[in-house]
Amino acid sequence: MASSSSGKRPSDAVWQKHRFTIEHMFVNEKKSLVEIRHRLESDGFRITKAQLEYKLKLWGLRRRIPKTKGDAVWQFIGRRVQQRKQQGKKTEVVLDKQILDAAKVCKEIKRYQETTISRFNPMSPMTPEGLEISQYTPAPLPMRFSWPASIPWSRFQDNFPLAFSGPGLFKNMNNISKEFTYQKQDPSFTNILQVITPQYAARNSITQLAAEIGSIMPETYENEHFGRANRLLQGTADEHYSECFKVILYKISNNIFSVDEVSRTEWKSIADILETSDIMKLPLQLGNITDAPMAAIMEKLFQRAMSNIDLESPKNSLEKSSDSRIITWALQSGQNPDIRIPYYDMSALQIAARKIFLPLMSQLLDHGADPDLSYEPWDEGVTVRYLNPLLETVRHYNGFDEGHLGMIERLLKMSSGVSIDSVIRMIMGSRSYFPEFMEVLIRNGADIFQSIKARTDAAWFIDTFSIIGCTVKYSSRPNELHPFFRLLEDAGIQNRSQIPEDVDTTSIVLLAAAEGNTAFLDDLHSYGIDITVIGNLGC
């Protein structure tokens, strides 16, 4: 069997991708090196026997004690077991990350029993070189938690390590070891264990931690949780972070069956897990993950966080609430922003627009949200139940606000599903005229004379409006040029005769009368516009 196709030594990142598979096949399935290499080759990773043997040694994985060390190892274990027995403690022996069968331990201790003279020599506190030997009190819970290997969570775990190392699941994985180094005495490490297993008290017992994890999530092969607990307590920073992430994700997935079924208390617990574990410090790369459970977990987190955004939450920052931070993390990880949000039956952008959450709208658009997407049909009438994001943003505009105005202009440039007619209808429903808003419309191609068919309660006697007609809602200050005439000047029109004949000035007169804007009516009369006309619906 040839080595890697490139002829180069595989990098540590590549080895790390396949480490879970190698450890599982070697330790748990007792597969031969040939079988392991065949499996790796089928996954596109070709290595030599020597390379595999070197990595197994480097990772401290072996199936038997070297013959040259048998005496020293079993005499060391025998003394420790005897010492704990005198203290009234039962002992479970862990050798190179494997729990040894109690009968085997008893047999080998007797086989390599020390001589009478050596028993009186002081015991060395050092573990025999090249081996990892630990003794723990057996877990009070049974350690058999096998579940069918076909369950989705099992398949998820098989795929997890393939995506974990950069450039897979996490971005900037090379920085994790430096950023997340820890000691067992580190308060942050203690906190994250409390998040994973609140009942776990013995901070150095692998078997007890494994039992606690077993009460939370299924085990698909014997001693899987022991290996997980071992990596949590004694593994590298990358292993520690990976296992924390998987347990936390499982807890989240186990709580979320339907977004609508999660209570506020349950959701707060989930958000606390995400915040406390520091998982959200690094975005995922969902585009590289084809695993259904992972995608479902992230989708549900995003949906629940979006549905929890309410009118009382801060709208000027994405960092002031856990919901906003979860949304940010999900989007940075590649979450699709256009999925339907239950309860509202809207897109995330529709919800953000309805709740006037401008920073969230910007973020959603930055991550590819469709500005025209509406899960419920919206009509072009005055009453719209589920509004397009642009129309909803226009509806909430109530005075000069640079951020709000900027969002309207951004949506005008991006949206292809909303006509200027619809925007004008929305404006006619408001009580005010905003010159800066009209400038935005004109700057984006609106015709000031464009007529549309519409009705409003304030002017039931006409059915035609235009942008310039909306200016009747504006009351000029003394010596101020009314926006109606300013728009005409900007269009190069200096007098009545230059206004196109097909422009409906009647509706403008009647709207001004309905608004009680007598000063403006006088200005229209002075300009040469007939103010004695009647509307096409009667007046």
Is the pLDDT at 160 greater than 80? The verdict is no
Q: Which amino acid is at 450?
A: Q
Confidence of residue 505 (pLDDT cuts 50, 70, 90): confident
pTM, rounded to two decimals: 0.60
Is the pLDDT at 336 greater than 90? The verdict is yes
Gap between the Cα atoms of 498 and 504, Å rounded: 14
pLDDT confidence of residue 80: 78
Gap between the Cα atoms of 239 and 198, Å rounded: 21
Residues 384/342, Cβ–Cβ less than 8 Å: no
pLDDT confidence of residue 261: 64
Give 449's contacts (C-beta < 8 A, 6+ positions apart). Answer: 466, 467, 468, 500, 503
Is the pLDDT at 3 greater than 50? The verdict is no
Domain ranges of the chain: 12-59, 67-136, 153-178+186-333, 336-418, 450-536
- Tens of pLDDT, residue by residue over 30-39, are 788 999 999 8
pLDDT confidence of residue 434: 80
Crossing angle of helices 322-332 and 264-277, in 10° steps, is 60
Gap between the Cα atoms of 377 and 142, Å rounded: 56
Q: What is the DSSP letter of 138?
A: P
pLDDT confidence of residue 337: 96
Give 486's contacts (C-beta < 8 A, 6+ positions apart). Answer: 435
Gap between the Cα atoms of 55 and 203, Å rounded: 29
Residues 236/177, Cβ–Cβ less than 8 Å: yes
Is the pLDDT at 114 greater than 80? The verdict is no
Of residues 421 and 18, which shows the higher confidence score? 18
Is the pLDDT at 491 greater than 50? The verdict is yes
Q: Which amino acid is at 14?
A: V
Gap between the Cα atoms of 451 and 449, Å rounded: 6
Portion of the chain with pLDDT greater than 70, in percent:
67
- Tens of pLDDT, residue by residue over 262-305, are 677 778 877 877 777 667 877 777 766 655 666 777 888 899 89
Class of domain 336-418 (CATH, top level): mainly alpha
Task: Calculate mean pLDDT across residues 343-355.
Answer: 90
pLDDT confidence of residue 166: 37
Q: What is the DSSP string of 453-486?
A: E--BTTBTT--EE-TGGGGGGPPPPTTPPPHHHH
Gap between the Cα atoms of 211 and 496, Å rounded: 88
Gap between the Cα atoms of 4 and 25, Å rounded: 20
